[in-house]
Amino acid sequence: MSFKIREVYQDATILCIEKPAGTLSIPDRYDPTKKNLLHYLRNKYPGILPVHRLDRDTSGIMIWALSDTAHKHLSQQFETRTVKKKYLAIVEGSPNTDSGEINASIQYGSSGKGFVKAKGKESVTHWRLIERFNGFSLLEVVPMSGRTHQIRIHLQHIGLPLVVDSYYGNRSELYAYQVKPYKKFRFSKNAEERPLISRHPLHASEITILHPLTKKEVTFMAEPPKDFRALLNQIRKWRTLG
């Protein structure tokens, strides 16, 4: 088992890594034999413990505990919602304002898919527009609660789904012809067209915690991976306003 993982920071109590898209954070509940980061990291750090997770196709910064004491301290921070997390999201559509709050309770069905419902669990997400394009937008998203798929559900709820999201969006892949103007698009009949991206473009860019040992606030950041940057470059090239 091997993953391309960059260790951002490590000391006696915590490990901070950049999670690649397409990898499970922890064992799958239905098939625990699937490759996952917890099993991989335990080869190097036998006592490592997860304190949060990212969806399989979400890339970005993750914190792990290297001791029981650190795990307890960090878990409490997540439970009390004192951890500050920021994400980057490429969405379909354009918001009417430059920032906003989504306060919409979430409920989950038997399949695990979530949807907004008044009787669900209280969920709040803040968002800020970073770049506006023709038909697309780049947002900074800050979840104030930690519900499963919260960002994806909330963005869909306000009419700004991720440009690729087979669960909560409109497509499972995004191709060049869906970004480029028709007259600019050229495609060879003998060539196999490859998607620009085939996973949801959601990236955990920043996390701030209280260090378990020093009790001081520390922030860790991760730049978006290659596929996220490549998609954004294409949108900037062909969909810039004005």
- Asked if residue 200 belongs to a domain, the reply is yes
Does residue 188 surpass a pLDDT of 60? no
Which of the following is catalytic: 31, 55, 57, 98? 55
Give 191's pLDDT tier (boundaries 50, 70, 90).
Answer: low
Does residue 107 surpass a pLDDT of 80? yes
- Asked if residue 83 belongs to a domain, the reply is yes
Does residue 140 surpass a pLDDT of 70? yes
What pLDDT does 86 receive?
Answer: 98
Mind listing the pLDDT tens digit for each residue in 126-139?
Answer: 999 999 999 999 99
The answer to whether the beta carbons of residues 153 and 162 sit under 8 Å apart is no
Instruction: For residue 56, give the amino acid letter.
Output: R
Give 109's pLDDT tier (boundaries 50, 70, 90).
Answer: very high
The DSSP call for residue 148 is T
- Asked if residue 207 belongs to a domain, the reply is yes
CATH number at 51 reads 3.30.2350.10
- Asked if residue 230 belongs to a domain, the reply is yes
- Asked if residue 1 belongs to a domain, the reply is no
Give 121's pLDDT tier (boundaries 50, 70, 90).
Answer: very high
The answer to whether the beta carbons of residues 86 and 126 sit under 8 Å apart is no
Does residue 185 surpass a pLDDT of 70? no
Beta strands 59-65 and 202-210 are parallel
Does residue 87 surpass a pLDDT of 60? yes
Query: What domain range is 37 assigned to?
Result: 6-239
* pTM reported for the whole predicted model: 0.93
What pLDDT does 194 receive?
Answer: 87
- Asked if residue 98 belongs to a domain, the reply is yes
* Least confident span in 53-62, 123-132, 174-183, 214-223: 174-183
Mind listing the pLDDT tens digit for each residue in 62-79?
Answer: 999 999 999 999 999 999
The position carrying tokens 């970005």 is: 60
Give 165's pLDDT tier (boundaries 50, 70, 90).
Answer: very high
What pLDDT does 28 receive?
Answer: 83
The residue ranges of DSSP E strands in 29-164, in sequence order, are 49-50, 59-65, 84-92, 99-103, 106-108, 114-116, 124-132, 136-143
Residue 75 host element (H or E): helix 68-79
The count of domains in the chain is: 1
What pLDDT does 127 receive?
Answer: 98
- Asked if residue 198 belongs to a domain, the reply is yes
Both structure tokens of 181: 């103007």
Give the three-class secondary structure for 226.
Answer: helix
Does residue 2 surpass a pLDDT of 70? no
Annotation says 28 is catalytic: no
What pLDDT does 182 receive?
Answer: 63
- Asked if residue 87 belongs to a domain, the reply is yes
